[in-house]
Protein backbone atom coordinates (compact mmCIF):
# COMPACT_ATOMS: atom_id res chain seq x y z
CA UNK A 1 0.00 0.00 0.00
CA UNK A 2 2.80 2.45 0.86
CA UNK A 3 4.48 2.04 -2.54
CA UNK A 4 1.16 2.75 -4.24
CA UNK A 5 0.85 6.01 -2.29
CA UNK A 6 4.40 6.99 -3.23
CA UNK A 7 3.72 6.25 -6.91
CA UNK A 8 0.52 8.30 -6.76
CA UNK A 9 2.34 11.25 -5.18
CA UNK A 10 5.08 11.03 -7.82
CA UNK A 11 2.47 11.01 -10.58
CA UNK A 12 0.62 14.03 -9.16
CA UNK A 13 3.91 15.89 -8.75
CA UNK A 14 5.00 15.10 -12.33
CA UNK A 15 1.65 16.21 -13.73
CA UNK A 16 1.81 19.47 -11.76
CA UNK A 17 5.36 20.25 -12.85
CA UNK A 18 4.67 19.41 -16.47
CA UNK A 19 1.57 21.60 -16.44
CA UNK A 20 3.51 24.58 -15.03
CA UNK A 21 6.37 24.03 -17.48
CA UNK A 22 4.03 23.79 -20.48
CA UNK A 23 2.14 26.93 -19.42
CA UNK A 24 5.43 28.83 -19.13
CA UNK A 25 6.56 27.51 -22.49
CA UNK A 26 3.25 28.49 -24.13
CA UNK A 27 3.57 31.98 -22.69
CA UNK A 28 7.09 32.17 -24.20
CA UNK A 29 8.52 32.72 -20.72
CA UNK A 30 11.21 30.06 -20.98
CA UNK A 31 13.86 29.18 -23.50
CA UNK A 32 12.82 25.66 -24.53
CA UNK A 33 16.20 24.72 -26.00
CA UNK A 34 18.00 25.82 -22.84
CA UNK A 35 15.50 24.05 -20.58
CA UNK A 36 15.84 20.83 -22.60
CA UNK A 37 19.62 20.97 -22.10
CA UNK A 38 19.23 21.64 -18.38
CA UNK A 39 16.76 18.74 -18.10
CA UNK A 40 19.16 16.37 -19.89
CA UNK A 41 21.95 17.38 -17.49
CA UNK A 42 19.66 16.83 -14.50
CA UNK A 43 18.68 13.36 -15.71
CA UNK A 44 22.36 12.46 -16.18
CA UNK A 45 23.17 13.55 -12.63
CA UNK A 46 20.37 11.41 -11.20
CA UNK A 47 21.44 8.44 -13.34
CA UNK A 48 25.07 8.77 -12.17
CA UNK A 49 23.93 8.60 -8.55
CA UNK A 50 21.73 5.58 -9.30
CA UNK A 51 24.55 3.87 -11.21
CA UNK A 52 26.61 3.69 -8.03
CA UNK A 53 23.60 2.62 -5.98
CA UNK A 54 23.17 5.90 -4.09
CA UNK A 55 19.39 6.16 -4.11
CA UNK A 56 19.27 8.78 -1.36
CA UNK A 57 21.56 11.12 -3.29
CA UNK A 58 19.57 10.54 -6.47
CA UNK A 59 16.40 11.57 -4.63
CA UNK A 60 18.07 14.65 -3.14
CA UNK A 61 19.50 15.66 -6.52
CA UNK A 62 16.06 15.25 -8.08
CA UNK A 63 14.47 17.33 -5.31
CA UNK A 64 17.03 20.08 -5.82
CA UNK A 65 16.40 20.13 -9.56
CA UNK A 66 12.67 20.49 -8.98
CA UNK A 67 13.29 23.51 -6.77
CA UNK A 68 15.68 25.04 -9.29
CA UNK A 69 13.22 24.58 -12.17
CA UNK A 70 10.47 26.36 -10.24
CA UNK A 71 12.90 29.17 -9.44
CA UNK A 72 13.88 29.49 -13.11
CA UNK A 73 10.21 29.66 -14.14
CA UNK A 74 9.42 32.18 -11.42
CA UNK A 75 12.33 34.42 -12.40
CA UNK A 76 11.76 34.14 -16.14
CA UNK A 77 10.75 37.39 -17.83
CA UNK A 78 6.99 37.70 -18.34
CA UNK A 79 7.39 38.25 -22.08
CA UNK A 80 10.34 37.61 -24.34
Mean predicted lDDT score pLDDT of the chain? 75
In-domain check, residue 49: yes
Tell me which residue of 76, 50, 72 sits closest to 61, measured CA to CA: 50
Domain containing residue 44: 2-75
In-domain check, residue 40: yes
pLDDT band of residue 5 (cuts 50, 70, 90) is low
Judge whether residue 80 has pLDDT over 60.
no
pLDDT band of residue 63 (cuts 50, 70, 90) is confident
Q: How far apart are CA 50 and CA 2, in angstroms?
A: 22
In-domain check, residue 21: yes
In-domain check, residue 71: yes
In-domain check, residue 80: no
Number of structural domains found in the chain: 1
Give the ranges where the chain is alpha helix by DSSP (H). 2-26, 32-51, 55-75
In-domain check, residue 24: yes
pLDDT band of residue 26 (cuts 50, 70, 90) is low
Q: How far apart are CA 46 and CA 58, in angstroms?
A: 5
CB proximity list for 55: less than 8 A, separation 6 or greater: 49
Amino acid sequence: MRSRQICRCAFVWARTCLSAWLKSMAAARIDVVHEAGVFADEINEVLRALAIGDVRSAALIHRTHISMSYTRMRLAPQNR
